[in-house]
Chains A and B, each alone.
Chain A
Amino acid sequence: MYGLDAISAHNGWHMAALGISIVFTGLILLSFTVAQLHNILRLFDNRDAYYKRIRGLFKKNNNKQEVSDSDLSLSNNVKEAAGQCKLLIERIGEPFPLPRLIELSEKCGMSHPYSTINDLILAGFIVPDGKGYYVWNQDEQN
């Protein structure tokens, strides 16, 4: 048997259509999964922050103070350091040069002042004033 008759007789149309559909389905699923992989990993890495956010949503007391993203992403140590730095900045006065803040932090016995102050800059607590000095960001604190 030859030609279209042979294809129909051996169920060829169905096998070909189903075969290519399965190949596409497999690779589309794999493609979708791979596309989400880095998002899933990011979610896993920030799981503490997300847990906190979810817990915050279910808190019974209607505390009007909203939890900001920066609060969630900072560890307790950094938040504590932010409090210390704020006191130091009040002492130095604003605007202040960054080396002066680092020097004072070292003198006050803050652990890892360089990385802590860097974290505070990244979190937006300390911002440049555009003239080579820095100021404490009141908005971020609130």
Chain B
Amino acid sequence: MENLLMEFISNTGFAMADYRHIIMITVGIIFIYLGIAKHYEPLLLVPIGFGILIGNIPVFKGLGLSLYESNSVLHYLYFGVTSGTYPCLIFLGIGAHTDFSTLLARPVLMLLGAAAQMGIFLTFLGALALGFAPKEAASIGIIGGADGPTAIFLSAKLAPHLIGPIAVAAYSYMALVPVIQPPIMRLLTTRKERLVRMEEPRVVSKREKIIFPVIGFLLCCFIAPAALPLLGMLFFGNLLRECMVAERLAHAARTSIIDTVTILLGITVGASTQADVFLTPQSVGIFALGAASFAVATASGLLFAKFMNLFLRKKINPLLGAAGVSAVPDSARVVQMVGQAEDPTNFLLMHAMAPNISGVIGSAIGAGILWSFLGG
């Protein structure tokens, strides 16, 4: 009886926990707090935060409880992450959610989305310089795309052992867009530039909106075929939305499917951050490079907008460049916020959605390119 009790006590979380579990549980609680109290990306931070709690309850091996045990329920759910299924389904939902009108009305703003992807490739170089293997460096670099599903997708393909830290870093920085971006935006633009007003976009016809996903898909995937899983779902979702004859499917994609997948993705990514695999010097490097990547991406977009203004007759507000990072729609909201801090009657949100959406396309192309370079 006494032996049985002692054995039970030695198998409880209290007996098996060490300082690393406590650190990770604290991180999980902070995520939940930020999501609920501060409203920082609550749809992501709350599931990831709770997932971190799930993943860091100390359990003994062999019972099929841990996410990394092949017979556990969490392991089966995690398959959607490692196979790249969840990110693609999330892209389907994003496509079904997104109105491409602003992008179609002023296509030149797409270049800002391309410029912001410099963050991906500069961070890739930085990670290589810090001693990461090329596949790991590419997975870390993609954090600069500020696109959680893309970061998870590429990490799953190139460096599955880093999915946890990369996903947590990507989503943390996405949640912190309103904190990270404004100082960089103010530093790199003058007040006069921030006051620039954008001209009213032209009205886009329904036919253009229907044709765009087909043309966009064909063009992007012929250039970077490895981006097919992500861009295929993104443009398919958008076609469902715009074609008007598949409203039920579009509704399902932008509500029940994306919500279900977000829950599963958040919980399993959170649970993958088990203390013994997460708390490593590598993770610290990933977080540092992720922050740098985000800053570089924002700065690249801003500076490229200023460069474009050298050639454009009708100037664009350089703040729009910051929306080139693809954290949809948070970075566009930040552009609006910073623009309105200077002039409350200047509405930039609608215009910022164009580089924001092209940033999603650009980061998916970037991921496809890195996968095709290193996936062999």
Which residues 213-249 of B have a CB within 8 angstroms of A?
215-216, 219-220, 223-224
Say which residue of B117, B128, B212, B369 sits within 8 Å of A34 (CB atoms).
B212
List, in ascending order, chain B residues with CB within 8 A of A25's CB. Answer: 223
Distance between Cα atoms of A26 and B231 in the complex (Å):
13
Closest residue to B207 on the A side, CB-wise? Answer: A41
Closest residue to B373 on the A side, CB-wise? Answer: A15
Q: Is the CB of A41 within 8 A of B205?
A: yes
List, in ascending order, chain B residues with CB within 8 A of A38's CB. Answer: 204-205, 208
Which residues 1-33 of A have a CB within 8 angstroms of B?
1-4, 6-7, 10, 12-13, 15-16, 18-20, 22-33
In the complex where A25-B223, A27-B358 touch, is A12 in contact with B104 (Cβ < 8 A)?
no
Q: Is the CB of A19 within 8 A of B111?
A: no
List, in ascending order, chain A residues with CB within 8 A of B117's CB. Answer: 20, 23
Q: Contact mask B109-125 → A, CB, 8 Å, 1/0?
A: 01101110110111011
Q: Is the CB of B215 within 8 A of A6?
A: no
Distance between Cα atoms of A15 and B207 in the complex (Å):
38
In the complex where A7-B125, A20-B117, A23-B369 touch, is A30 in contact with B216 (Cβ < 8 A)?
yes
Say which residue of B122, B125, B365, B373 sits within 8 Å of A23 (CB atoms).
B365
Say which residue of A6, A18, A33 sits within 8 Å of B128 (CB atoms).
A6
Tell me if A37 is interfacial: C-beta within 8 Å of chain B.
yes
Q: Is the CB of A28 within 8 A of B208?
A: no
Most chain B Cβ neighbours within 10 Å, of A7, A13, A18 = A7
Most chain B Cβ neighbours within 10 Å, of A4, A19, A20 = A19
Q: Is the CB of A23 within 8 A of B134?
A: no
Q: Is the CB of B114 within 8 A of A28?
A: yes
Tell me if A35 is interfacial: C-beta within 8 Å of chain B.
yes
Q: Is the CB of B108 within 8 A of A7?
A: no
List, in ascending order, chain B residues with CB within 8 A of A30's CB. Answer: 107, 110, 215-216, 219-220, 358, 361
List, in ascending order, chain B residues with CB within 8 A of A23's CB. Answer: 114, 117, 362, 365-366, 369
Tell me if B129 is interfacial: C-beta within 8 Å of chain A.
yes
Q: Is the CB of A7 within 8 A of B128?
A: yes
List, in ascending order, chain A residues with CB within 8 A of B204's CB. Answer: 38
In the complex where A1-B131, A30-B219, A37-B212 touch, is A22 in contact with B124 (Cβ < 8 A)?
no
Q: Is the CB of A16 within 8 A of B121?
A: yes
Smallest CB separation, B147 vs chain A (Å): 13
Tell me if B24 is interfacial: C-beta within 8 Å of chain A.
no
Tell me if B103 is interfacial: C-beta within 8 Å of chain A.
yes
Smallest CB separation, B310 vs chain A (Å): 17
Q: Contact mask A20-63 → B, CB, 8 Å, 1/0?
A: 10111111111111110110010000000000000000000000
Sample (19) of A-B pairs whose CB atoms are under 8 Å apart: A2-B130, A10-B128, A15-B121, A15-B124, A16-B121, A16-B124, A19-B120, A19-B121, A19-B366, A20-B121, A22-B223, A22-B365, A26-B220, A27-B361, A30-B107, A30-B215, A31-B107, A31-B108, A33-B219
On B, residues with C-beta under 8 Å from A are 103-104, 107-108, 110-111, 113-115, 117-118, 120-122, 124-125, 128-131, 134, 137, 204-205, 207-208, 211-212, 215-216, 219-220, 223-224, 358, 361-362, 365-366, 369-370, 373
Closest 8 CB pairs of A and B: A16-B121, A31-B107, A27-B114, A34-B107, A31-B110, A26-B223, A35-B107, A12-B128
